[in-house]
Amino acid sequence: DWTMAAFRAQAIEEIRAKVGKAKVICGLSGGVDSSVAAILLHEAVGDQLTCIFVDHGLLRMGEAEEVVGMFRDHYNIPLVHVQAQDMFLDALEGEMDPEVKRKTIGRLFIETFEAEAAKIGGAEFLAQGTLYPDVIESVSFTGGPSVTIKSHHNVGGLPERMNMKLVEPLRELFKDEVRELGRELGLPDRFVGRHPFPGPGLAIRCPGGVTREKLDILRQADAIYLDEIRKAGLYDAIWQAFTVLLPVQTVGVMGDGRTYEFVCALRAVTSVDGMTADFYPYDMEFLGNAATRIINEVRGINRVVYDITSKPPGTIEWE
Ligand code: XMP
């Protein structure tokens, strides 16, 4: 594609001009955006780049293996896999406020990047796959007074003081354009087509307090839900789908026993850029099957609901 080929060439020139001979680290999240940013950066500055994949304990099932595997197998980019589960989960303990959760995670990401930058002899730049909608939504809400809706960790959630300069080569792009650029850069289709996944990960899908136990329940439910979506051939028709573990327990009956367990909400939306979205109109049979499987297979969940809120007035994530 001519436009993306031109964008690629220009972005590479700009990165080189900005970075010079300095070292760069790039935080990989497992999503399309940071992967595309990393590959673009690598083309621009080669072995001045080190990628950092932080396992904050808030990833989906099998995610770390998948991302690290893809980068190690397909690209010759140095990749550091940081095991930081305890640091993040301990810091989040007991925290209920969505913005504090986001900012805590953003701060720990930066601390982790700074520590890794020091280990490779100092990196002057931190690269991120920030997109245009991330910039807008962290800054203000269109049409109204300037109000922060959410501090996206790769924009507004970063601490003010940080000893690295940011490189954000995708800052002017929308999601569909990043996917096009990913294809242009030779990323495998199944990776380019991945649903978005937020930097703060499963922490913002556990409204209220995050615990290891809840994350474990959420991870299992999420894997089953995504499996059902793939089996039904719906993955590519949906922009983003995930489960949310509600901080509510309800009474149920299983066999001849009473249960008192958590409620799981299913979310699925269609969207073009994430800035507006419609809930996905599943048929009832699909929903029934997914709910039955989750309740039968996941200990800790005894009720499933479907979120039929569009954006606006809802947001895609619950926090
Ligand atoms: P919301 O919930 O704001 O989400 O309607 C819009 C899109 O952005 C993703 N999202 C994030 N992505 N860091 C990210 O990289 C974040 O902090 C973040 N918060 C939300 C969300 O998953 C959806 O695709």
Q: Are residues 170 and 295 located together in one domain of the fold?
A: no
With a cut of 80, say whether residue 155 has pLDDT above it.
no
Judge residue 181's burial from the number of C-beta atoms within 10 Å of its C-beta, 0-12 exposed, 13-18 middle, 19 or more buried.
buried
With a cut of 50, say whether residue 116 has pLDDT above it.
yes
pLDDT of amino acid 142: 41
Q: Are residues 49 and 156 located together in one domain of the fold?
A: yes
Examine residue 271 and state whether it is found in any structural domain, yes or no. Answer: yes
Q: What percent of the chain has pLDDT over 90?
A: 81
pLDDT of amino acid 154: 60
Domain limit, last residue, from 192, 225, 256: 192
pLDDT of amino acid 71: 85
**Dihedral (Cα; 224, 99, 97, 272), 10-degree rounding:** -30
Residue of the CA atom closest to atom 11 of ligand 1: 198
User: Would you say 122 is a known binding-site residue?
Assistant: no
> Please, what is the Cα angle at 167 between 166 and 171, to 5 degrees?
110
CB 240 within 8 A of CB 228: no
Count of structural domains, the chain: 2
Over residues 209-230, the pLDDT tens digits come to: 999 999 999 999 999 999 999 9
Q: Confidence band (pLDDT; 50, 70, 90) for 73?
A: confident
Examine residue 318 and state whether it is found in any structural domain, yes or no. Answer: no
With a cut of 50, say whether residue 277 has pLDDT above it.
yes
The residues pairing with 306 across neighbouring beta strands, listed in sequence order, are: 266
With a cut of 50, say whether residue 149 has pLDDT above it.
yes
Residue of the CA atom closest to atom 3 of ligand 1: 315
The amino acid occupying position 303 is: R
Q: What is the mean pLDDT of the segment spanning 96-119? A: 95
Sheet with 125-127, side-by-side order of all strands: 79-83, 49-55, 24-28, 125-127, 165-167
The amino acid occupying position 25 is: I
Examine residue 129 and state whether it is found in any structural domain, yes or no. Answer: yes
Q: Looking at ligand 1, which atom is closest to the CA of residue 152?
A: 17
Examine residue 119 and state whether it is found in any structural domain, yes or no. Answer: yes
Q: Are residues 76 and 123 located together in one domain of the fold?
A: yes
Over residues 9-62, the pLDDT tens digits come to: 999 999 999 999 999 999 998 889 999 999 999 999 999 999 999 999 999 999
User: What's the mean pLDDT when you consider all of the chain?
Assistant: 92
> Please, what is the Cα angle at 70 between 67 and 71, to 5 degrees?
90
User: Would you say 35 is a known binding-site residue?
Assistant: yes
Examine residue 243 and state whether it is found in any structural domain, yes or no. Answer: yes
Helices 2-19 and 32-45 pack at an angle, to 10 degrees, of 60
How far, in Å, is the centroid of ligand 1 from the Cα of 152?
A: 7
Structure tokens at 302: 């005894």
Examine residue 59 and state whether it is found in any structural domain, yes or no. Answer: yes
Examine residue 201 and state whether it is found in any structural domain, yes or no. Answer: no
Distance CA 25, CA 50 (A): 5
CB 238 within 8 A of CB 140: no
With a cut of 90, say whether residue 148 has pLDDT above it.
no
Q: Which domain holds residue 295?
A: 211-306
User: Would you say 151 is a known binding-site residue?
Assistant: no
**Mutate which of 316, 318, 319 for ligand 1 pocket (most atoms within 8 A of beta carbon):** 316
Q: What is the mean pLDDT of the segment spanning 250-276? A: 96
With a cut of 80, say whether residue 194 has pLDDT above it.
yes
Q: Are strands 125-127 and 278-279 parallel, antiparallel or unpaired?
A: unpaired
DSSP line for 52-117: EEEE-S-PPTTHHHHHHHHHHHH----EEEEE-HHHHHHHHTT---HHHHHHHHHHHHHHHHHHHH
Distance CA 231, CA 55 (A): 28
Domain limit, last residue, from 159, 192, 225: 192
The residues pairing with 49 across neighbouring beta strands, listed in sequence order, are: 24
With a cut of 80, say whether residue 145 has pLDDT above it.
no
The alpha carbon of residue 200 and the mean position of all alpha carbons in its chain are separated, in whole angstroms, by 7
Residue 131: give its domain's CATH number: 3.40.50.620
CB 82 within 8 A of CB 46: no
Domain limit, last residue, from 192, 221, 242: 192
More confident residue, 2 or 88: 88
How far, in Å, is the centroid of ligand 1 from the Cα of 20?
A: 32
pTM: 0.92
